[in-house]
Amino acid sequence: MQLGVDFGTTRTIVAYADRGNYPVVTFADADGDPQEFVPTVVALVDDELVYGFEALRAAEAGAVPLRSFKRALASPEVGPHTVVHVGDRQVPLLEVITGFAASLRHELLTSGSARDLLEGPTLSAAIAVPAHAHGAQRFLTLEAFRRAGFEVTAMINEPSAAGLEYSHRQGRTLNSRRTRVVVYDLGGGTFDASLVKVDGTAHEVLDSLGLNDVGGDDIDVVLADCALAEAGLTWDDLDVRAQAELLGDAREAKERLSPQAKRLVIDVAGRPVIVKVAACYAAATPLVERTIAAMGPLLGMLEATDSPDLSDIAGIYLVGGASGLPLVPRLLRERFGRRVHRSPYPAASTAIGLAIAADRDSGYSLTDRLSRGFGVFREGESGRRLSFDPIIGREVVLPGAETADRVVVTRRYRAAHNVGWFRFVEYAALDQWGEPRGDIVPFAHVVFPFSPDLQGRDDLEQVGVQRTEGGPLIEERYTIDPHGMVEVNLTCLDTGYSQTHALRAREPVG
């Protein structure tokens, strides 16, 4: 059976393919009640990490849970050896995600509603990542699920998967004139938007944009701030456990909000506080407006009236758990009118789309894009000048997961210096001068010996850059796999000396 796993910031949701249907797996919570998710939470109990509903039970017993640990993946500095704090322990982030994925796999095989249909021990699944996820995010997610016993058949951008669910459910809105869908995906930790062109069952992602620092978690903080202000307290007045409880109660209050609600009740240090919804919405509006502004370029140039031409847009599709906040569709409809459609299952839309993508018999196809650029800062003129070379554009089409193909970019040149300094980065956009702007994430810092007499030395950073004549022939080879991860190979073709740089974990966890 093919699974779709939406590894979410606050909740992880799994759907599966069942003869053209794509139901969501239910799991039993601490009270034995069915839930269509597993909480993405970890806690430390007697020096052992526990996950999901068990972690929530531990929190009720006094443990301090670590929620939203997925957000650590968005950091530009994240890597295979990044650590997070769980209780009073420092734990490698990769170990936490691997443990969570292993716990999820165990639940699927033992207590999930689809357990009788699953065949262990390895589970086949398409996994979701944010559209603007950089290489380290993708690598750590893929590595963790593989180590946990999943066969990852595809890693798909979250809004791209939701686009599949839209056309599967809302196909009647698509026609020969309206062929494009904008997916607005506001999750627990990130915001993504994708422009998807649909031709029957064929889906092509035209562009994707996103924000790594806006999500439902940030709205929870806004609601908690409002409750603290109403109670006459500050965050410093609460201990760590009380802060965690306040955020959890704010999250629950947010999820209970209806469009007609005027007040909400949030517990602050064990005391119920009544907060006006209008005040909370006023405080949260700037966050939602940031997402709308980030989505703007997908709709093309705005007219003088600030009203985009949506004539060939079938709909703006709202998915992600945080889009359930009534403020979100209200602000979007004020801006874009009746073309705004909210998924009937906003939290599960991505997981369902993943299951559709994983289903070999669905008939649906997806052409996705890299969604971020990859380039290098090079030193020239004996180190006196620094220039940026955008090697791979963010519009590059990813190879299909069902093939062994790779996207390859190759460059050859005669070396003009004795050593080359390469500072590889991933970037969100280029400015008018061709310089990277927005989120810039370091990939690798490499010093490569061009001169044969320097090859094999380990003190190259101490070698001064000198201009040479008639240097050796150098080849740079950049390879992108179906998961959107880049590998860099530098080779001196005259001598055969070569270096390969890619994101890898050196030691297995456990």
Q: Quote the pTM value.
A: 0.89
**Residue 476, SS3?**
strand
What is the rounded average pLDDT of the residues 213-241?
94
Backbone φ/ψ region at 232: left (φ over 0), alpha (ψ -120 to 50), beta = left
Spatial neighbors of 87 by CB under 8 A, at least 6 apart, are 43, 44, 63, 64, 66
457-to-362, 500, 506 alpha-carbon distances in Å: 54, 16, 22
Q: Which two tokens stand for residue 168?
A: 């599967």
Residue 391, classified by CB atoms within 10 Å of its CB into exposed (0-12), middle (13-18) or buried (19+), is: middle
Residue 52 has pLDDT above 80, yes or no: yes
Q: What is the 3-state secondary structure (H, E, C) of 372-414?
A: CEEEEEEEECCCCEEEEEEEECCCCECCCCCCCCCEEEEEEEE
pLDDT at 303: 35
Q: Does position 363 have pLDDT exceeding 70, yes or no?
A: yes
Contact in structure between 185 and 322 (CB atoms under 8 Å):
no
What average pLDDT does this structure show over 130-135? 90
pLDDT for res 510: 39
Helix-then-strand count for the chain, H and E: 9, 28
Q: Which long-range contacts (CB under 8 A, 24 or more apart) does 449-452 make?
A: 449/418, 449/419, 449/492, 449/497, 450/415, 450/417, 450/418, 450/419, 450/420, 450/474, 450/492, 451/415, 451/418, 451/419, 452/492, 452/494, 452/495, 452/497
Q: What is the average pLDDT across 360-367?
A: 91
Residues with Cβ < 8 Å from 431, sequence gap 6 or more? 437
Task: Kindly state the tokens that stand for 451.
Answer: 């001169």
How many Cβ atoms are within 10 Å of 286's Cβ, its own excluded? 10
Q: How far apart are CA 443 and CA 308, in angstroms?
A: 37
pLDDT for residue 336 is more than 50: yes
Asked whether residue 404 carries a pLDDT value surpassing 60, the answer given is: no
CB 377 within 8 A of CB 387: yes
Closest CA to 502 of 479, 486, 481, 482: 486
β-sheet bridge partners, residue 154: 126
Which two tokens mark 31? Answer: 């009270």
Whether residue 313 is predicted with pLDDT greater than 50 in this model: the reply is: yes
List CB contacts of 201: < 8 A, sequence separation 6 or more: 167, 362, 363, 364, 365
CATH homologous superfamily, domain 2-214+286-367: ATPase, nucleotide binding domain (3.30.420.40)
Q: What angle do CA 51, 57, 61 make, to 5 degrees?
A: 125
CATH number of 373-501: 2.60.34
Residue 399's pLDDT band (cuts 50, 70, 90)? confident
pLDDT bucket at 400, cuts 50 / 70 / 90:
confident
Q: What is the mean pLDDT of residues 369-374?
A: 91
Q: Cα separation of 39 and 456, whole Å? A: 49
Residue 410: the pLDDT is: 95
| Phi and psi at residue 291, to the nearest 5° | -70, -40
* Structure tokens given for 272: 């119920």
| Residue 122: predicted pLDDT | 81
Residues of the chain with CATH 2.60.34: 373-501
Mean pLDDT, range 474-495, rounded to an integer:
94
Residues of the chain with CATH 3.30.420.40: 2-214+286-367
Higher model confidence: residue 213 or residue 509?
A: 213
Strand partners, 24: 15
Q: For residue 382, is pLDDT > 70?
A: no
Structural contact between residues 177 and 131, judged by C-beta atoms closer than 8 angstroms: no
Given a cut of 60, whether residue 309 has pLDDT beyond it is no
27 pLDDT above the threshold of 90: yes
Q: H/E/C letters for each residue in 32-88?
A: CCEECCEECEEEEECCEEEEHHHHHHHHHCCCCCEECHHHHHHCCCCCCCCEEEECC
| Polymer length of the chain | 510
Among positive and negative, which fits the CA dihedral 254, 185, 287, 262? negative
Above 90 in pLDDT, residue 42?
Answer: yes
Contacts of 268 (CB under 8 A, 6+ apart): 227, 228, 230, 231, 233, 246
Tell me phi and psi for residue 81, to 5 degrees.
-110, 15
Q: Which amino acid is at 428?
A: A
| pLDDT, the chain, mean | 89
pLDDT in tens, 67-101: 999 999 999 889 888 999 998 899 999 999 999 99
- Distance from C-alpha of 398 to C-alpha of 406, rounded to nearest angstrom: 8
- CB atoms near residue 23 (< 10 Å): 16
Backbone angles phi, psi at 223, to 5 degrees: -65, -40
**Helix, strand, coil in percent for the chain, rounding step 5:** 30, 35, 35
Query: Is pLDDT above 50 for 324?
Result: yes
State yes or no: pLDDT of 305 exceeds 80. no
Question: Which segments within 255-360 are labelled E, that is strand?
Answer: 263-268, 271-276, 313-319, 340-342
